[in-house]
């Protein structure tokens, strides 16, 4: 076997919240089922992060591998979608159970499909759920809902899912634990001339070409899908780290912010990426009209939009739509000064306009939260005018 050249040690950029993706090859046992052999070291890393006040969202593969062992009469030659869905259904609880045995912190299972994240309303619901779990110091364990997502059982889906989740929860870092040391200039298992790539300042076509095909018999992703995930995270201003989750020393050093692996940087800042996204989401017909006090709070204080400052909603927009926000301008005319993603539809806003946040549920019979438009989902016109660059 080729003696792999070591990656140099480097310092991990500061982060407070990260998404950690763990592949099947790190928790699947030979012959099916799950193993704690490598998962234990990753669990110790999670525990250390949690003890230091950091937050982790875990995207864990392994459900199909776990279910394969439980489906006693299953033929290994059967790779149909129905068979894989059955194995995933059996293995989901096993996967979460493995992590719960290794971690002394509360966990919550969250199953998502790409459709959940493409649909704006379900996107908001998923983000609200994950944010609430993190607020209560509960670690979400996220996986693709393989039991219903037939088309999503494709190569590297959880790598890309992890990148989407990183943007969803506004993470600072995407951590991808794999069974290889990091990115090489070629496949180090077949090319003795392969050199380690310690840092990637930008994902270019030449860098993408370095990625090989899938290297594991139990996983569904290869190095290319990990670079694609890094590309998605980078577009949201989130940097990515690739490291060997099988190397206990590498994992231990990572808990001390020392990396032996590949750091994939991004030129986009998180603010630029967010403002770019808000700038380009099409606004629907209609608007939310606010009073002078709310206009001032949004413009000058960095506040979220609450019902108390709203005068009315015009149009028939729905929860999750991008809506213009207007306020008093010169000579009594309304002027558009912001835009944002609404947490309520137009009819609901008109029912809660001018009310205190504690009155939302009594008036509607339910609540999507106290903010009609959260600050994270809002961009001021002057901020949009200042959004420049190559994003």
- Give the pLDDT confidence of 165-214 residue by residue, as tens digits: 998 899 999 999 999 899 999 888 788 888 999 999 999 888 988 885 54
Q: Is 158 annotated as a binding residue?
A: yes
Q: What pTM, to 2 d.p., does this model score?
A: 0.76
63-67, 174-178, 286-290: least confidently modelled range: 63-67
Whether 188 and 44 share a structural domain: yes
Q: What is the pLDDT of residue 76?
A: 57
What mean pLDDT is reported for the chain?
A: 86
Q: 4 in a domain, yes or no? A: no
Q: Per residue, what are the HEC states of 114-177?
A: HHHHHCHHHHHHHHHHHHHHHHCCCEEEEEECCCCCHHHCCCCHHHHHHHHHHHHCCCCEEEEE
Q: 3 in a domain, yes or no? A: no
Whether 257 and 280 share a structural domain: no
Q: pLDDT per residue over 348-380, tens digit each?
A: 999 999 999 999 999 999 999 999 999 988 988
Whether 281 and 168 share a structural domain: no
Q: How confident is the model at residue 238 (pLDDT cuts 50, 70, 90)?
A: very high
pLDDT at 235 over 80: yes
Residue 251 Cα to chain centre, angstroms:
21
Q: Is 190 annotated as a binding residue?
A: no
> Alpha carbon of 88 to those of 82, 143, 288: distances in Å?
10, 10, 44
Q: Is 226 annotated as a binding residue?
A: yes
SS3 198: coil
Q: Is 221 annotated as a binding residue?
A: yes
CATH number of the domain that residue 91 is part of: 3.40.1160.10
Q: How confident is the model at residue 261 (pLDDT cuts 50, 70, 90)?
A: very high
Interatomic CA distance for residues 348 and 193, integer angstroms: 63
Q: Is 256 annotated as a binding residue?
A: no
Q: How many separate domains does the chain show?
A: 2
Q: What is the pLDDT of residue 383?
A: 56
Whether 285 and 248 share a structural domain: no
Whether 236 and 294 share a structural domain: no
Q: Is 224 annotated as a binding residue?
A: yes
- Domain end: 268, 291, 314, which one? 268
Q: What percent of the chain has pLDDT over 90?
A: 56
Q: Is 388 annotated as a binding residue?
A: no
Contact yes or no for 98/58 (Cβ under 8 A): no
Q: 76 in a domain, yes or no? A: yes
Per residue in 271-292, is it b (16+ CB within 10 Å) or e — as a string? ebbbbbebeebeebeebbbbee
SS3 371: coil
Q: Is 61 annotated as a binding residue?
A: yes
Contact yes or no for 221/158 (Cβ under 8 A): yes
Q: What is the pLDDT of residue 220?
A: 44
pLDDT at 217 over 50: no
**Average of per-residue pLDDT across 63-70:** 77
Of the two residues 41 and 217, the one the predictor is more confident about is 41
Sign of the four-CA dihedral 9, 208, 174, 61: negative
Whether 278 and 207 share a structural domain: no
Of the two residues 150 and 257, the one the predictor is more confident about is 257
Q: 20 in a domain, yes or no? A: yes
Interatomic CA distance for residues 12 and 301, integer angstroms: 33
Q: Is 223 annotated as a binding residue?
A: yes
Domain holding 327, by residue range, is 274-386
Whether 215 and 317 share a structural domain: no
Whether 260 and 299 share a structural domain: no
Whether 262 and 292 share a structural domain: no
Whether 80 and 155 share a structural domain: yes
Q: pLDDT per residue over 6-64, tens digit each?
A: 899 999 999 999 999 998 889 988 777 889 999 999 999 999 999 999 999 999 988 87
Q: What is the pLDDT of residue 154?
A: 43
pLDDT at 151 over 60: no
Radius of gyration of the chain (CA): 23
Q: What is the pLDDT of residue 385?
A: 45
CATH number of the domain that residue 357 is part of: 2.30.130.10
Contact yes or no for 154/221 (Cβ under 8 A): no
| Angle (CA) 204 207 209, round 5° | 110
Q: Is 103 left (phi over 0), alpha (psi -120 to 50) or beta?
A: beta
């Amino acid at each position: 076997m080729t003696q792999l050249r070591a990656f140099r040690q480097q310092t991990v950029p500061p982060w407070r919240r990260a998404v950690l993706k763990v592949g099947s090859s790190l928790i699947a046992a030979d012959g099916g089922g799950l193993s704690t052999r490598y998962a234990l070291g990753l669990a110790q890393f999670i525990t250390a992060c949690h003890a230091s006040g950091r937050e982790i969202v875990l995207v864990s593969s392994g459900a199909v591998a776990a279910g394969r062992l439980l489906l006693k009469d299953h033929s290994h030659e059967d790779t149909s979608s129905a068979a894989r869905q059955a194995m995933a259904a059996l293995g989901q609880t096993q996967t979460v159970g493995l992590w719960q045995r290794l971690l002394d912190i509360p966990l919550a299972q969250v199953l998502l499909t790409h459709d959940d994240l493409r649909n704006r309303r379900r996107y908001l619901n998923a983000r609200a759920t994950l944010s609430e779990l993190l607020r209560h110091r509960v670690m979400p364990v996220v996986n693709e809902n393989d039991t219903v997502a037939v088309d999503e059982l494709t190569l590297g889906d959880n790598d890309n899912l992890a990148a989407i989740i990183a943007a969803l929860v506004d993470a600072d870092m995407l951590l991808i634990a794999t069974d290889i040391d990091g990115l090489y200039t070629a496949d180090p298992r077949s090319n003795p001339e392969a050199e380690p790539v310690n840092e990637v300042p930008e994902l270019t076509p030449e860098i993408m070409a370095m990625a090989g095909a899938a290297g594991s018999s139990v996983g569904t992703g290869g190095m290319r899908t990990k670079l694609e995930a890094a590309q998605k995270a980078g577009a949201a201003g989130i940097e990515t780290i690739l490291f060997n989750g099988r190397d206990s020393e590498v994992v231990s050093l990572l808990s001390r912010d020392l990396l032996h692996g590949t750091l994939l940087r991004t030129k986009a800042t998180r603010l630029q990426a967010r403002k770019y996204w808000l700038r380009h989401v099409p606004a629907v017909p209609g608007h939310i009209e606010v009073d002078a006090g709310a206009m001032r709070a949004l413009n000058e204080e960095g506040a979220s939009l609450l019902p108390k400052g709203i005068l009315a909603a015009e149009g028939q927009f729905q929860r999750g739509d991008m809506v213009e926000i207007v306020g008093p301008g010169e000579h009594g005319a309304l002027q558009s000064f912001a835009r944002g993603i609404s947490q309520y539809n137009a009819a609901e806003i008109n029912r809660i306009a001018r009310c205190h946040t504690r009155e939302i549920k009594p008036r509607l019979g339910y609540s999507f939260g106290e903010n009609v438009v959260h600050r994270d989902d809002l961009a001021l016109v002057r901020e949009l005018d200042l959004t420049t660059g190559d994003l």
